[in-house]
Structure 1
Amino acid sequence: MKKNWLLRIVFGIAGVLIVAVIAVLIWQKGYYGNRWYGNTTINGVDVSKQTLAESKQKLIEAHQDYSLTIKAREDGILTINGSDIDYKFDIGSQFDDLFATQHGSMSFFGKKREYTMDYDVDYDAKKVAKIASESALMTGDGYKIKKPVNAHVKYSAEKKQYECIAEKLGNKLKKKVFIQAIEDTLQKAQTEMDLTDEKAFPDVYKAPKITSEDEELQTALSACNNAAIRFIKWNMGEGVTEQITPEEISKWITYKNGKIKYDQTAISDWIEAFCLKYKTVGKTRTIKDHNGKNVKIYGGDYGWQMDYEKTLSQALKALKKPIDASLTEAYINDASTDNQEALTIKCKVEYLNTAFQKDYNNFAVDWDTQNYTEISLADQMVYVFRNGKVAYSCKTISGRPVEGRSTPTGAYFIKEHNTHRVLKGENYETPVDSWVRITWSGTGFHAAPWQSWSSWTKDYYKVRGSHGCLNLEPSVAKKIYDMVKYREAVFIH
């Protein structure tokens, strides 16, 4: 009995609900027979519960003073007024068809109905294209246009490794796509157009070719790290070292088409600056002359000079040396001294010319300040210093002061000794004894028995001067030959 009673209650309630639903549907059919259902919009205009005539009038009124506002990236705005493009609006036949379609199906309360449709519109397409093309969004007049930037790898000095830099979208529009998007929007008589909505306008902007998701980016990251993370080191002596670091190398390499490319010019410039930094040849030096006075000496070939070609070859070889990727990875994870040492390529300093000493506080003090030779062209005298004092001096006759024969000034070094040598020039060939070369161009000490030494004065060279050499009396030439040492500094002033 109890079960039958419960069934009667359930069926009774169900019957009431069915009757209620039927009643609501009948009412809805009657009320909405000539009205749009609730929560209905057409091209963004709310026409809920309006009759067909009311909604048509509302749409017409909404587009009487039509204008389209276009929102772009980087706060760009463009407004196109209907009057500027001869814009004309009419609802069109789709409107009635859409109404019939909506009422041909059941309706449920609360459901949103958002429709889009093309109106019957007319406008001057040439004027639209002209306004769009000449707008700031296209020309950049008062609106900075930024091209898209590909995702790429870049060296981080802080992290001591390369990292992936995300792409930048930019705001450069595709002209034809932009104009077509405007026309599509005008056709729907929409008053707003948001180009920043990538779903609605996916192709209107020029896009980066490489994004952060591209696998090639990870390949480039590994390749660049392996190429750049290395240390190329030279021991300059006196506790001084020079090295090429990953940060420097990162400026010289690019990754393209699966390969690392090197900027040969930049590398050459670095090596040139490196060699010049330690070059003392040609520097101005100050010496104590035979009178104990400071004398500045300019030019010459004495000093340190690295071999640029060999040093450049060392650097290029070290840059391209294969390095185990595990060593690179270890340094990326922990930039410790030990891991850096494992990535260090040591190079021997190659010199074209050397000097007596290195003084990195004063590069010009590279000679033996206690033992050297001074030649005073004004006095026509040679002074040999030993232990900081003049140990020997003698007369000399230098080159005649005319073009092609004068003795060069500057700091030089003794290059060779020959007991006998034949000196050859354009119009002479002279055998000499006790030859000591000072310059590679041919200046040196030698005996000159043909000179009238009894007539010597400090001006004698002006009329009887040599072809550039330092003539000596035969009695002293052997003394100079024995005293001045190979590679010892000679200062001519």
Structure 2
Amino acid sequence: MYKKRKRIIIITCIILIFLVIYFSISLFFKERFYFGSVINGVNYCGKTADEVERSINETVQTYQLTIEGRNGLIDYISAEDIDYHYIPDGTIERLMETQNPFKWPIALFGMNDLEMHIEAGYDSDLLSDLVNHLVFLQEKNNIPPVDAYINYNDTEYTIIPEETGAYITENALYQSVKQAVEDGAEHLSLEELDIYAVPKYTQNSPVLLQLTKKLNTYLNVVITYDFDDRSEILDRVFIKDWMYVTSDFDVDFSLEKVREYVDYLARTYNTFGSKREFIAHDNSQLTVSGGDYGWLINRAQETEAIVEIIKEGKSVTREPVYQQVAVSRATNDIGNSYVEIDLTNQHLWVYKEGNLVIDSDLVSGNISKNLGTPTGIYQITYKEREATLVGEDYSSAVKYWMPFYYNVGMHDASWRNEFGGDIYKTKGSHGCVNLPPKVAKIVFENIEKGTPVVCYNGKLIKKTAEENTSNLSNKKNN
């Protein structure tokens, strides 16, 4: 009986001891956090709310934000710099209230991991001023980006890559830093935030790639001008200076500069009305100027044609667009089929493919009435059979009419019995070249529209009496 009572007393005492311990610990955790209570990664086991808040405040006082930027730049913001401080908001007390002190044994078998937002304050004016003085905004470091652009390197157009720079605005940097501070972040990567200004155009921008391709296509066009025994090459040397890029990233041409090149062609290869060295029938060399014969480039149309050819992107060999053409495109544009008229000696020679077809005396315009036949180089305008020539005081029917300068031309003059000599001085025509009918017929049959007519005042050749008699006989036979 005694032993049984003793056992009960012992058990009761043990229970009482455990109860004392249990309630003592429960009383302890009434104002303290459980075993294994971790708040924001820090173990606050056995700490009161006040102790936790003092610890958090001490931690906040050591806060530092590390900011990393491009080009290896780093800067820092400390709690002291911006008066960064902890603001108690009752969160710790609320966490404590969620804890049942009588359930402390449960905490022995697991972690009580708690999360809370630490409310911290700072001086916004200090932060703003500090951000404006960060290393990233210094002029030497805040480098604007440079767009990729197209460059000509004496061979072709290439894209020069963009430069990313390291440009960031004050506001963008301030907003990013402000958010990091408010979040309590300790590290901030500006690169990861993607707040740096970026180039508008990069080396892979489709618009630059397409533009470069078009520029090089145009640049590689070669236009070869064929001037028979001469040629001109129009290539990149000229084209690169004519092209420009429009505001909508297309390629256009300076028509003014293209026209300058066409003007050069015209100055060099136009022969219209130019002075020429002419080899006469007796192999003497004469200088003949005036007249409307020769090549004449149509400058406006040729300018347009050049631009269109380049835009097609294909090299060609061609002649310019002409406003007027001549018989030959060689340096000697008269060729070897022409009519030679010596007004001084009143004689005509007709050549076809280098061979003399006929020569004959003639009667030209009456110089005493200022109706002299004009000198210069012309071309047959057209040919007409059975024409009537009408003037103010005349109307003459002819069988062979071959005009070469307005209403001046060659024709048969059946009303004349004599040709050559000095007849033209007082009894000449109204400006036309009068020919014996048989001669006019042969001339008519051996020339075409466009055949050159060379009229000049040669050196007077005095004929002997025998030559004059022979010519007179020939004239009468004609």
TM-score (norm: length of structure 1): 0.47
From the CA coordinates, give the structure whose radius of gyration is larger.
Answer: 2
Structure 2-normalised TM-score?
0.49
